[in-house]
Structure 1
Amino acid sequence: MKRITNYMISGAMLLALSCNDDTIDLNPIGETEADFFQSEAQMQQAVFGVYQKLGFFYQWNAQAYVHRADLLPSDDLTRTGSGPFENFEALDGNNGIVGDIYQYSYELLARANTLLTKIEENGEFAYSIEPDLKEVHRGEALFLRSYVNFRLWNTFGTAPLVTERITVLEDAFPPNTTGTELLDQAVLDLREAISGLPEAWDEENVGRATKNSARGLLQKILVFRGTVKNDNADFTEAINVFNSINSVSLMPNYIDNFDVQKENNAESLFELQAEDNVGNLNGWLPIATDDPEFAAIGEINAYYGYYIGTFVAGTTYLATPSLLNAYETGDPRLNLAFDPADENQNVRKYVSTDEEIPGANPNQLSANNTRILRYADALLLNAEAIVRTGGSLSDAIALVNQVRERARNSAETPSAVPADLTVPATADEALELIFNERRLELAAEEGHRWHDLRRRHIAGEIDLTNWDFSSPDPTFNFQPFNVYFPLPENEVIQSPNLNQNEGY
């Protein structure tokens, strides 16, 4: 199991500390920025520092586990207790999870932008031994920056765009973005990242971003942008990008994608490299206990406790009646994703400890990688892009049927369900089949369902104000402005250029 842990760059990504006459002549303790970014090894450490921040979205980290904000708002999951991401009623700019998402995003962006600046400034001499590594590192920084900008758009919509290292106070208050500015930058970054990233890494570095990682993310963002802008060119490019993805395939069994022993597999395009605290299982990043200087950061791990109702997570996240009713009787994915012992309400993905997912641990230090991008998602996005460009409905449904074939072959005894879909008469019917398949295949993963609903609402394809969210909460109150979460109130107050999202 790979994991990104805490390899921080000692002060290299901070603004200069203020000083006074009594301290100005003191020798610095440890490395300063002037001493850093001087070699391939130091640049590599800086790259790992960017990856490390990605873990903050997924780990327990002082009870943040902010990725739950991507999961609960959709019609797939609910909970027995009320909450702002369940009912939208109490969601405001003072919400701690909203603040954490914003903070972690801009901390990662600061690291990525600093690294990109230093590659530009020091690249000629810092990469004197391995000059080809320069473009690889640049590609990794651009990939991670684009991923965060995609997250920011899916969460806030209007969050600021920061593409340069901030070194002076007057640059520290960027304005809101509008429309698809965050996605536009991500597309530019990913086009460039693809050229620098490797096709694959050696065994010691498996889990770092590759060309396929960037291709998968670029395809996804193009489909999202094309949806909200009704832009045929984006869908066409998305198809071309998908066709360039290579050397990947669907895993034989659906549950392989959540098996702690089958991480970074043939279906994976990019994963959070999770770890527990039992030892260094990742060759390309040192564990905290190996380097006491960085031990305060803690382990990078994935947290799934909200699926089983731990004392930390509170009330359990459960499958909604709407989602359960969407599965055909006999679809093996239902029992593999949701526990049949609990009438399929409890999520099993990542957290099951039975023989189907050996070694998974739902507690605070799960070492089971979160699959951020996988090939099944890309297949279904490509089917969507084909339909939206007026392409062959037969070709599009054939891609969906690849996913369904793997699903029915995932039963202990391969079944006839889900059967291949027949080609519908219209493009609208085909899109509904594709979105239903995305719901079933990607249920309770990475906010896929909420993000799909959100983009379709923004595009005017569906109306979420009349949508069956299947929430039992009597205070449920979705409003159209809820497709954009509130910006952190303290950020709005402190920044003269930042306006709160409408409705909050």
Structure 2
Amino acid sequence: MKNLKIYFFITVFMMIGFSCSEDLLDVDNPNTPTVDQAWKTELDAEMGLNAAYNMFYKPSTWTRWIYFRYDLSSDEGHSTSPWGELADWTRFRYFNYNFWDGNNWHWRDFYKAIFRANQVLAYVPSITFADAAKKDRILAQARFIRALYYFQIALLWEDAVIVTEPSEPDDEPEQRTEAEIWALVEEDLNWAKDKLPDQWDDANVGRATKGAAKALLARAYAQQKKYPQAKAELDWLVTGDGKQYYGLVADYRDNFTHTNENNIESVFEIQFSDRNKGNDGDNLSASMGFQRTQFFAPGGIGWQDGKARAWLITEYKKELTKDGKYDRRLLTNIFYRQAYKDFPDAANNDTLVYNRKWDVGAWANETFIKKYSTYYYRDREDYHAPNNFRFIRYADVLLLYAEALNETGQTAAAYQYVNMVRERPSTNLQKLEVAYPAIGNDPVLFKKRLQMERSLELCFEAVRWMDLKRWGLLTTQAGLDELRSRDVDFDNFTLGKHHRLPIPQIEVDNNTKLDQNQPY
């Protein structure tokens, strides 16, 4: 009887199975809509845009590896990582053009972010919005994000591909010149800047604003030596209507902690959080933490893969403050052995290393990157630091404005904007003309000093490589000699080659219209 019952139920289930309509088995997954199913509503547009913003939270972009390209490859930092290939990619030893963490991952995810922005730009125009201005704001943010990533592509590889429509796996986009990529960056940001709000409400803080678009556009112009155009964009932030939204915080350190984020000095800020401690995937539990700190912290606290160059300490000490002390930006930016002697009046958690005395045996006389670390409230790092990354600070805007003025024959007018940075209450340095009277109105001397001012203010903020390229230090023998005097890794640097990365070889192999950057 038992066996007969079993056979009976098997027969019934088989009959049901054969009699079911195949349509009932064709069920859509609401979590993975197709293009035809999505892009119908305002909510779809918002979700698509958020997916583009989400690319900031990938190891290849602003959570981890980008700082190896911009900070550690520059003369401000270096790597002693036991992972030899990782360290070699900060020393211009590119033996494997397919090194995932130093090259391929950047290329893939930059274009993945561009793909997501392109989807917004392709599909949102056909969606009906109750408020047309809201649609424009969504499209403007997508253009800002696309421009931001093409900026990095122009900076790192120069010649690359341009994709402005949602792509397919078998597409073979043509190779385009660096000039064409900059032209697209300009086009996107010029379209976006006046459609973005001056500010967002609290629920949307962190989204691109008019000031962010203008500042990024000014950077793009400056990289191409278009200084009059760069100044024109920065006018709005420095002397125009946008001036009301920006300023300098009194305490320099407040720009790098999680306790005073999105302050008046923030022009564009990537919003990190330690609430999700998941992985790096595209899911609801994915990490949104800042991972750089884990890789730069001293051994026993982090991985110490990235370190500061000691010449910065020497430069900070060359000039005392108005009250005869050392520049406190040094204490904020670098862990070093003698900090407690140089800053005897500082709080313990500033002169100690994550509440520890200097480990002479393990750390010797190393100099570690302190900026953005979480030493001020915990004892060690992890992959989920909550500190927002200040992608563009107002101090950067002021110094770039001074550079644009100097480059357009207005050296005397440029001093005041450098002085605003130097005289920040926590920095408290003399005016530039008092400290360096020999500069006068000589634009060459002013430019040289401004280069050091930018480093002392902005070191380890992923702008140094951009600056070195703009100033010609990576493309002239005199510039290379200067860099070699500060950083022995530049002994490996070859003029005409290492100012840009090789294109990932797998991309060249898979695209018949793409050639490897020469002379790689």
Sort the TM-score into its range (normalised by shorter chain). Answer: 0.7 to 0.9
**What do the CA deviations read for 1:454-484 (whole angstroms, capped 9, x no partner)?**
2222896664442334335697344431111
Distance 1:210 1:177, change over 3 A: same
The separation in 1 between residues aligned to 2:24 and 2:502, in whole angstroms, is 42
Structure-2 residue corresponding to 1:332:
328
Distance 1:457 1:472, change over 3 A: closer
Q: TM-score, normalised by structure 1?
A: 0.81
Q: Kindly report structure 1 stretches of 4+ aligned residues shifted beyond 6 Å.
A: 22-25, 58-61
Structure-2 residue corresponding to 1:49:
51
Distance 1:293 1:427, change over 3 A: closer
**What do the CA deviations read for 1:72-93 (whole angstroms, capped 9, x no partner)?**
1111112335622332123541
The separation in 2 between residues aligned to 1:236 and 1:140, in whole angstroms, is 23
Q: Does 1:385 align with 2:381?
A: no
Gaps of 5+ in 2: 1-21, 320-325, 340-365
Structure-2 residue corresponding to 1:348:
370
Structure-1 residue corresponding to 2:346:
none
The separation in 1 between residues aligned to 2:284 and 2:135, in whole angstroms, is 28
- Secondary structure (helix, strand or coil) at the match of 1:270 reads strand
Q: 1:237 aligns with which of 232, 255, 264?
A: 232
Q: Is the 8 A contact 1:143 1:209 kept in 2?
A: yes
The separation in 1 between residues aligned to 2:379 and 2:148, in whole angstroms, is 26
Q: Does 1:84 align with 2:88?
A: yes
Q: 1:113 aligns with which of 118, 121, 125?
A: 118
The separation in 1 between residues aligned to 2:505 and 2:383, in whole angstroms, is 29
The separation in 2 between residues aligned to 1:347 and 1:490, in whole angstroms, is 34
Q: Is the 8 A contact 2:302 2:381 kept in 1?
A: no
Structure-1 residue corresponding to 2:345:
none
Distance 1:181 1:134, change over 3 A: same
Structure-1 residue corresponding to 2:28:
28
Q: Does 1:40 align with 2:58?
A: no
Distance 1:463 1:162, change over 3 A: farther
Q: 1:428 aligns with which of 444, 469, 474?
A: 444
Equivalent positions of 1:63-102 (< 5 A) are 65-81=65-81, 83-96=87-100, 97-102=102-107
Q: 1:318 aligns with which of 307, 310, 319?
A: 307
Deviation of 1:29 (Å): 2.3
- Secondary structure (helix, strand or coil) at the match of 2:483 reads coil
Structure-2 residue corresponding to 1:15:
none
Distance 1:363 1:197, change over 3 A: same
The separation in 1 between residues aligned to 2:298 and 2:311, in whole angstroms, is 21
- Secondary structure (helix, strand or coil) at the match of 1:195 reads coil
The separation in 2 between residues aligned to 1:85 and 1:311, in whole angstroms, is 24
The separation in 1 between residues aligned to 2:69 and 2:396, in whole angstroms, is 20
The separation in 2 between residues aligned to 1:417 and 1:387, in whole angstroms, is 17
- Secondary structure (helix, strand or coil) at the match of 1:271 reads strand
Structure-2 residue corresponding to 1:17:
none
- Secondary structure (helix, strand or coil) at the match of 2:307 reads strand
Distance 1:219 1:196, change over 3 A: same
**What do the CA deviations read for 1:243-273 (whole angstroms, capped 9, x no partner)?**
4443100111111110211111100011111
- The Cα RMSD (Å) is 3.1
Q: 1:274 aligns with which of 272, 281, 297?
A: 272
**What do the CA deviations read for 1:125-179 (whole angstroms, capped 9, x no partner)?**
2x1x33321001011101111110111111111121112222483xx22222223
- Secondary structure (helix, strand or coil) at the match of 1:146 reads helix
Q: Is the 8 A contact 1:404 1:420 kept in 2?
A: no
2:415 maps to a residue whose letter is: I
The separation in 2 between residues aligned to 1:463 and 1:197, in whole angstroms, is 42
Deviation of 1:26 (Å): 3.0
2:256 maps to a residue whose letter is: F
User: When the two structures are aligned, how many residues end up with a matched partner?
Assistant: 452
Q: Does 1:480 align with 2:484?
A: no
Distance 1:188 1:382, change over 3 A: same
Q: Is the 8 A contact 1:91 1:486 kept in 2?
A: no
Q: 1:396 aligns with which of 411, 414, 419?
A: 414
Q: Is the 8 A contact 1:57 1:104 kept in 2?
A: no
The separation in 2 between residues aligned to 1:65 and 1:459, in whole angstroms, is 21
Q: Is the 8 A contact 2:222 2:230 kept in 1?
A: yes
Where relative contact order (Cα < 8 A, 6+ residues apart) is larger, the structure is 1
The separation in 2 between residues aligned to 1:237 and 1:462, in whole angstroms, is 32
The separation in 2 between residues aligned to 1:458 and 1:156, in whole angstroms, is 17
